[in-house]
Structure formats: structure tokens, C-alpha cells
Amino acid sequence: NAGVTQTPKFRVLKTGQSMTLLCAQDMNHEYMYWYRQDPGMGLRLIHYSVGEGTTAKGEVPDGYNVSRLKKQNFLLGLESAAPSQTSVYFCASRKTGGGNEQFFGPGTRLTVL
């Protein structure tokens, strides 16, 4: 099992450009999450999904969109990148029932110039 994988690992964008971050999990988990981590801020939830075809807003959703067309994939889109979106992005997944722990991917470091 690869667990949770994220593509790409690093990316540099110019202000106004768009991009999509891909998260994939092979654990058949229902729940998936996108977080951003900034210095001194911990991890903040951007968007999440409780199942295929569903998405919901988290704590800091502005400027981002998401899609969950397949159960194993959760995409995070930036339509018009801003320097304030420079951050490390983590995807996580969680199974229904059982423990409450979320399993995290290795992260994507995004810089917006």
C-alpha cells in the first residue's frame, strides 16, 4: 500500500496562474481532507469530503476549489494563485468508523511569486 500520495511535491507559480494538486489514497477511505500549514499557524482545514461526489468547506476555503469525482482521488484547485497561498499543502484521509486518526500525505510545497 502506498497510503496517501500527493502530486507534485514542489511547485512555483506566478501570481494569477492556476494549478491543481492531486491527492490519491489506496486505503479505500471515505473521508479526505486538504490542509495548509503555515509557520506559527499549525494545520488549517481548507476543504474536505465525506465521500465520492461530495465536498464541503473547511476553515480557510477562499481561493480554493475541490473535486472528488473518484473515491480514491481528491483534487485541490487554485484558479488564480496569490502570494498569500504560498504554503505547504497536506492531504489526509480517514476511514469510516474505527479510530479517528487521519493519515497524511507527504505534502506539496507551493510558492507563489
Partner 1 sequence: DQQVKQNSPSLSVQEGRISILNCDYTNSMFDYFLWYKKYPAEGPTFLISISSIKDKNEDGRFTVFLNKSAKHLSLHIVPSQPGDSAVYFCAARSLTGGGNKLTFGTGTQLKVEL
Nearest to 95 by CA among 2, 30, 23: 30
Among the listed residues 12, 27, 56, 113, the single contact to partner 1 using CB under 8 A: 56
Which residues, 6 or more positions from 107, have their beta carbon under 8 angstroms from its beta carbon? 6, 9, 37, 88, 89, 90
Nearest to 28 by CA among 95, 91, 97, 99: 95
Q: Is residue 61 part of the contact set for partner 1 (CB under 8 A)?
A: no
Q: Look at residue 76 and give its three-state secondary structure.
A: strand
Using the minimum distance from each CB to partner 1, give the nearer residue, 22 or 103: 103
Using the minimum distance from each CB to partner 1, give the nearer residue, 19 or 50: 50
Using the minimum distance from each CB to partner 1, give the nearer residue, 9 or 70: 9
- CB 50 to partner 1: min, Å: 5
Nearest to 93 by CA among 51, 58, 60, 64: 51
Q: Is residue 99 part of the contact set for partner 1 (CB under 8 A)?
A: yes
- List contacts with partner 1 (CB under 8 A): 4, 31, 33, 35, 40-45, 48, 50, 56, 58, 90, 92, 94, 99-107
